[in-house]
Amino acid sequence: MAEAIVSTVVESLGKLLIDQTIAFVTSFREVHKQFERLQKEFKSIQGFLHTADSNHNQDPDIGIWVSDVREIAYDVDDVIDAFLRKVAYKEDGESSFMRYTRKPKKILNIYKLRKEMETIFSKLKDISKRQKRYAGITIQQIMPSTSSNTNNMLLRRVYSHTKDDATVGLEDHTKTLVSELLKEEDRLCVVSIYGMGGLGKTTIAKEVYNHRNIKAHFDCYAWTSISQQMSTKEVLKEILRKVSTLTSKDMGEMNEVELVGNLFRFLGGKRYLIVLDDIWNTTDWDILKPAFPNSRGSKVMLSTRKLEVARHADPMSFHLKPRFLTDDEGWELLCRKALIPLSSDLEECGRRMVKKCGGLPLAIIVLGGILQSKRSLGEWENVSKKIGISGHESRVLSILSLSYEELPYHLKPLFLYLGLFPEDSNIPVKKLVRMWMGERLIKEQEGETIEEVGRQCLDQLIHKCMVQIGKKRLGEERAKTCRLHDKMRDLCIEIGKKENFFKVMSHQNNDPSSSSSSSSSSVFLKLRRCAIHVEEKGKQYIFPKHLTPCLRTAIFIPKDLSTKYCPNIVYKDFKSLKVLEFQGELKPEKELCGVVKKLSNLKYLSVTRDRWATPLTFEFGNFIGNFVCLETLDLKYSHIDESMCKVISNVMPQLRHLYGFGIQHVTEINKMRRLQTLWSARAGPWITDLEKLTNLEKLGIKELDEKTIRLFTNVIVGGLDKLRSLLLYIEIIEFPSDLLESLSEKIHLMKLRLFGKFKNGKLPSLFPSNLIKLFLGSNCLSEDPMPTLEKLPHLLFLKLSYSYLGKEMVCSAKGFPKLQNLQIWFSNQLEEWTVEEGAMLCLTKCWIYHCKELKMVPQGFKFLTMLQELKIYDMPKSFEQRVKEGGEDWPTVQHIPSIIIFS
């Protein structure tokens, strides 16, 4: 971590010395010299840190020295921020009088900065003396050369979290649990998996939950993760979303009692399976238990670390404790993770390390991640020497710690940053990378955007088995969301605290002033990042004055995302804050707005709300012009009005990602040349300026009319060549044919949403050839769209909503060669749907929603052997009866593991 921040400071100083050369020569010569001197000092320290940073665990004195270096580097970073904020602002366009009036304040700020740098030099002099004590340590590369570079590793990666990777030796457990769950009992049975962390409980539960026989046996099912601090509302809502037609909006204001009642009602009379993953105590089970009716054949499956929780939930049902892996199974799993053949000259050393893991799957998986980049026996022997041989818990911690120490220095802060997110979070990758950008934890490289650099860094953490994939991006192996195993998160929090990287705060633990330095200077460590858990309305979150000026990231996380809240912050000086996120139903009041409006250094601002909530009128709009450094402004479910748009265009030329709910009257967008995301805006004359946004990748435009659709057609003909995702929503008029023809030529366009009518009720003959996702809505098509759409060679996802007015629809043989997900919504006149043998051979999910006249499931569904899930929403009772066991269509659909019917 010390090397990471020192490297950032060296780079920032270098950039500063180049960018501000002219200004320094004329006004700040003395400060310029001090910055030059600082850069030289830190370049000298950098080399020593290669060794010191990797050896501090073995030598406490070196650990203290490294800690001091890290804190001084942070101080220098703060000085650079202060200089850019207070001194180096541009004077272009200012009158001579304004420059004259500002001069005394600028001189005072320079004086303060020089004093701060003198203090830093004094600290550097002290640690320089102490460094000489360790002069015997030779400077060397921490990471030995590997047989292949990172890019090659990524090309040949096999992600560790695909379905079967971690199930070595667990097959017998899976069979046992499937057998238990399929038993017909007269009561609700609670089957449990218990044991220590890292034993594979969740892996087994997932295998069972997704088992073909399980999917076919139960009427409905749901999976939810509990975590140590259970949010009852969120758990109940998650289950309800999966077993009912209720949306988050429907459940918005329901309390726990109402949620329990609704869940009980929906599950009543059904044979259901509910999985409660990682339940920690008996009280949590007692709270949830009333929601589950005592239905014949129904099951709850829970995983827990405590046998007492399993016995308390159901003393009469089956309790499984997964066994440890044998040495042979452990070696097989290690080979999978380290990507080496089972027969290898490394086997003897590898088996010794496996033995040290004691058969614990998590330890072996993480060890495999460490060994992936090592191919020589010497490298394996070095790793083996560092693994402890004590009890299971210590052994796991030893291997996890080693995986962190083995990381290249630039990845260490990126890993620790994940500790800011709550337990069991599915963290959106785009959000995470943009937060890293805001804190300058990643740097742009030649030929690649900084966003792509961030994704590659995350890929490396996944490749090393330190981060898990949550959901994958459509059509890719890369992560859409990511998460931390609870053991890995424990390590993250432990190191984060030790390295003074971040702090998690709540009303029970809300005073960061208790943190003190372990260094020789005996000063308070400054708070750099914090996650604030808003657990009760009105609670205060104390940020002492000597800590807050250096805060870089603050994330406010309410326990219940649907409860409106306004954080009550006692101390308000957050002048260095770069990343700010409010999750849940934020209620910005006058005091909070007074805090936020001063944050001129912000690079990332997000108000993350429930998509079904009423859009928020953004109370920060009156002072949004203060956020001159913003790169990401994410207000997806908040209104952005005309005056805000004008300010954003004029003061945020560096903005890269802008999200809003119907962004109104966009003006002067041509000034934002770096913009990659604009989602979603109301149409207007500004569309002409889109041709100047050569970096735009994601675009959403609503309320297009005859004039604005023509403007967009002109733009798309020769521009927007990097566009990957597009939403167009037209009213009254039809999509022009030349627009659709021009869109078909955009080779990078992969996701397309078109809402509105087509000429003569017919689809265009051509669509972008590389489309993987297509959403058509309100199209009033009189001709069957399938003959056109089924020719799209790469299409993976298709949704038709209020699209087709005809009575017959045909999917022909060899059509839709790669389609995985098909949804037909509100085709109210559709009577017959034919699926020929050989069509949609890759289809895994199908939704039929409110097609009231459809007589039966297509007979061709019997050929869809890959189909795993059929969801039928709001269909006539006669249709529902046909697909149930014993119904006329049962022979056609009986091979589908999961058939879900919602009335």
Q: What is the pLDDT of residues 695-744, one digit of tens each?
A: 999 999 999 999 999 999 999 988 899 999 999 999 889 999 999 999 99
* 824-866 confidence digits (pLDDT tens): 999 999 999 999 999 999 999 999 999 999 999 999 999 999 9
Task: Confirm whether 160 is domain-assigned.
Answer: no
Contact present, 400 and 488 (Cβ < 8 Å): yes
Distances (CA, A) of 373 to 143, 356, 365, 368, 383: 10, 20, 14, 9, 12
Residue 519 confidence class, pLDDT cut points 50, 70, 90? very low
CA atoms 793, 796, 802, 808: torsion sign: positive
Look over the chain and give the mean of its residue pLDDT values, rounded to a whole number: 83
Taking the C-alpha atoms of residue 863 and residue 866, their distance in angstroms, rounded to an integer, is 9
pLDDT in the model for residue 726: 97
Choosing from 551, 578, 609, the residue where a domain stops is 609
518 or 379: which leads in pLDDT? 379
Residue 252 confidence class, pLDDT cut points 50, 70, 90? confident
What the block records as the tokens of 535 is: 């657990």
Find the mean pLDDT for residues 549-572: 82
For residue 352, give the CATH number of its domain.
1.10.10.10
458 with 536, same domain: the answer is no
68 with 202, same domain: the answer is no
Find the mean pLDDT for residues 759-772: 91
What the block records as the tokens of 219 is: 């009427």
156 or 162: which leads in pLDDT? 162
776 with 857, same domain: the answer is yes
pLDDT in the model for residue 400: 83
What percent of the chain lies above the pLDDT cut of 90?
44
Contact present, 562 and 587 (Cβ < 8 Å): no
pLDDT in the model for residue 429: 97
Is the confidence at residue 751, as pLDDT, over 90? yes
Choosing from 565, 592, 609, the residue where a domain stops is 609
306 with 344, same domain: the answer is no
Task: Confirm whether 198 is domain-assigned.
Answer: yes
314 with 343, same domain: the answer is no
Q: Helix axis angle, 377-386 relative to 392-405, nearest 10°?
A: 130
Taking the C-alpha atoms of residue 659 and residue 662, their distance in angstroms, rounded to an integer, is 9
3 with 119, same domain: the answer is yes
- Say how many C-beta atoms besides its own lie within 10 A of residue 520's C-beta: 14
What the block records as the tokens of 458 is: 């995350």
Residue 647 confidence class, pLDDT cut points 50, 70, 90? confident
pLDDT in the model for residue 546: 66
Helix (H) or strand (E) holding 210: none
DSSP 627-644: -TT-SEEEETTEE--HHH
1 with 118, same domain: the answer is yes
DSSP 423-453: TT--EEHHHHHHHHHHTT-S--BTTB-HHHH
420 with 562, same domain: the answer is no
Task: Confirm whether 516 is domain-assigned.
Answer: no
DSSP 96-151: HHHHHHHHHHHHHHHHHHHHHHHHHHHHHHHHHHHHGGGTTSPP--SSPP-SS-HH
Task: Confirm whether 100 is domain-assigned.
Answer: no
3 state DSSP class of 331: helix
344 or 481: which leads in pLDDT? 481
Task: Confirm whether 658 is domain-assigned.
Answer: no
Find the mean pLDDT for residues 386-406: 74
Residue 576 confidence class, pLDDT cut points 50, 70, 90? confident
pLDDT in the model for residue 20: 59
859 with 793, same domain: the answer is yes
Please, which residues have CB within 8 angstroms of residue 463's CB and are 6 or more apart in sequence?
A: 153, 154, 157, 159, 369, 372
Going by the DSSP 8-state scheme, the letter that residue 614 receives in this structure is P
User: What length is written for the chain?
Assistant: 903
93 or 293: which leads in pLDDT? 293
What pTM, to 2 d.p., does this model score?
Answer: 0.81
Compute the 3-state secondary structure of the chain and give helix, strand, coil in percent, each to the nearest 5.
40, 15, 40
Residue 141 confidence class, pLDDT cut points 50, 70, 90? very low
For residue 273, give the CATH number of its domain.
3.40.50.300
Peptide bond into 680 cis (omega under 30): yes
214 with 291, same domain: the answer is yes
3 state DSSP class of 267: helix
* Closest-CA residue to 554 (of 570, 543, 539, 540): 543
Is the confidence at residue 760, as pLDDT, over 60? yes
Task: Confirm whether 262 is domain-assigned.
Answer: yes
Contact present, 480 and 462 (Cβ < 8 Å): no
What the block records as the tokens of 892 is: 């056609």
* 324-382 confidence digits (pLDDT tens): 899 999 999 999 888 887 677 889 999 999 988 888 888 898 898 889 888 888 999 88
Task: Confirm whether 59 is domain-assigned.
Answer: yes
pLDDT in the model for residue 710: 94
Domain range spanning residue 203?
170-320
Taking the C-alpha atoms of residue 658 and residue 640, their distance in angstroms, rounded to an integer, is 10
| Cα pseudo-dihedral 669, 675, 681, 686, rounded to 10 | 20
pLDDT in the model for residue 316: 92
What the block records as the tokens of 800 is: 């038709």
* Closest-CA residue to 324 (of 411, 391, 228, 399): 391
198 with 300, same domain: the answer is yes
Q: Which of 2-6, 25-29, 773-777 has the highest mean pLDDT?
A: 773-777
Into how many domains does the chain fold? 5
pLDDT in the model for residue 145: 34
Task: Confirm whether 326 is domain-assigned.
Answer: no
Find the mean pLDDT for residues 196-222: 90
Is the confidence at residue 162, as pLDDT, over 70? no
Choosing from 554, 576, 609, the residue where a domain stops is 609
- Residue 628, φ and ψ in degrees, nearest 5: -75, -10
436 with 569, same domain: the answer is no
